[in-house]
Chains A and B, each alone.
Chain A
Amino acid sequence: MKIAGYEQQPVDARLAREARWDVEEFHAAYCQLLDLGDIEQWADFFTTDCLYIITARENAEADLPVGLVYAEGRDMIRDRAFAVRHTQMFAPRYLQHFVSNVLILAVAGNEIRAQSNYQLLQTLVEGPTTLLQAGRYYDTFWRENGRLLIEERRCIYDTTLIANDLVLPV
Chain B
Amino acid sequence: MFSNDTVIHPLGSTSKEREPASYQWPAEGLAAIPDWIYTSEWIYDREMARIFHGKTWNFVALEAEVPHAGDFKRSYVGPTPVVVVRDEAGGVQVFENRCAHRGVEFCRHARGNTTEFVCPYHQWTYDLHGDLQGIPFKRGIKGEADSGMPADFNNKQHGLRKLNVECLHGVVFASFAEAMEPVAQYLGEEVLKDFAVVFKDRKLKILGYYRNELPGNWKLYQENLKDPYHATLLHSFLVTFGLMVAGSKTSMIADPTGRHGTMASRRPDDVSKVVDSNTAKEMRAYRTDLKLADTRFLEFIPEFNSPWTVTMQTIWPNMIVQRELNTLGVRQIVPNGPNSQIMIWTMFGYDTDTPEMTRHRLRQGNLMGPSGFLGLEDNEAIKFLQEGVRRSPSDRGVLKLGGKSEGTGGIISESAIRAMYRSYREVMEL
Q: Which residues of chain A have a CB within 8 Å of any CB of chain B?
A: 54-56, 58-59, 62, 64-73, 75-76, 78-80, 82-83, 86-91, 126-128, 130, 160-167
Query: Are B363 and A72 interface neighbours, CB within 8 A?
Result: yes
Binary contact readout B369-390 vs A (1 if CB under 8 angstroms, 0 otherwise): 1110101110111011000000
- The residues in B between 33 and 86 inclusive whose CB is less than 8 angstroms from any CB of A are none
B223-268: which residues lie under 8 A (CB-CB) from chain A? 234, 236-237, 240
Q: Can you list 10 A-B contacts with CB-CB less than 8 angstroms, sorted by A residue number?
A: A56-B209, A64-B206, A64-B207, A66-B207, A67-B365, A70-B363, A72-B294, A72-B359, A76-B363, A164-B380
User: Using a CB-CB cutoff of 8 Å, which residues 280-302 of chain B contact chain A?
Assistant: 285, 290, 292-294, 297
Cα distance A65–B208 in the bound complex, in angstroms:
6
User: Which residues of B approach A to under 8 Å, CB–CB?
Assistant: 2-3, 6-7, 110-111, 206-215, 234, 236-237, 240, 285, 290, 292-294, 297, 342, 347, 358-359, 362-363, 365-366, 369-371, 373, 375-377, 379-381, 383-384
B207, A164: Cβ atoms under 8 Å?
no
User: Within 8 Å CB of A69, what residues of B?
Assistant: 366, 371
What is the total of A-B residue contacts with beta carbons within 8 Å? 129
Beyond A66-B362, A68-B369, whether A162 also contacts B212 by CB under 8 A is yes
Chain B positions within 8 Å of A71 at CB level:
363, 366
* Chain A residues whose CB sits within 8 angstroms of the CB of B384 once the complex forms: 91
Asked whether, in the complex, the Cβ of B366 is within 8 Å of the Cβ of A70, the reply is yes
- Using known A-B contacts A67-B362, A73-B294, A130-B6, determine if residue A165 contacts B208 with beta carbons closer than 8 Å: no
Report which of A67, A70, A75, A91 forms a contact with B380, defined as CB distance below 8 A. Answer: A91
How far apart are the CA atoms of A165 and B377 in the complex, in Å?
9
Min C-beta distance of A149 to chain B, whole Å: 17
Contact of B213 among A83, A86, A162 (CB under 8 A): A162
Q: Chain B residue with minimal CB distance to A159?
A: B211
User: Closest CB-CB distance, A113 to chain B, in whole Å?
Assistant: 22
A68 close to B210 (CB less than 8 A)? yes
Q: Select A87's contact among B211, B212, B237, B371, beta carbons within 8 Å.
A: B237
Contact of B365 among A70, A75, A78, A79 (CB under 8 A): A70
- In order of increasing CB-CB distance, the 3 nearest A-B pairs are A66-B208, A64-B208, A75-B294
Which one, A58, A86, A130, A163, contacts B212 given CB within 8 A? A163
Q: What is the chain B residue whose CB lies nearest that of A129?
A: B6
In the bound complex, CA of A56 to CA of B377 (Å): 20
Known: A66-B210, A160-B211, A164-B3. 5 other contacts (CB 8 A): A66-B347, A68-B369, A86-B240, A89-B234, A164-B380
Shortest distance from the beta carbon of A15 to any chain B beta carbon, whole Å: 34
- If the complex has contacts A76-B363, A79-B292, are A164 and B370 also in contact, measured as CB distance less than 8 A? yes
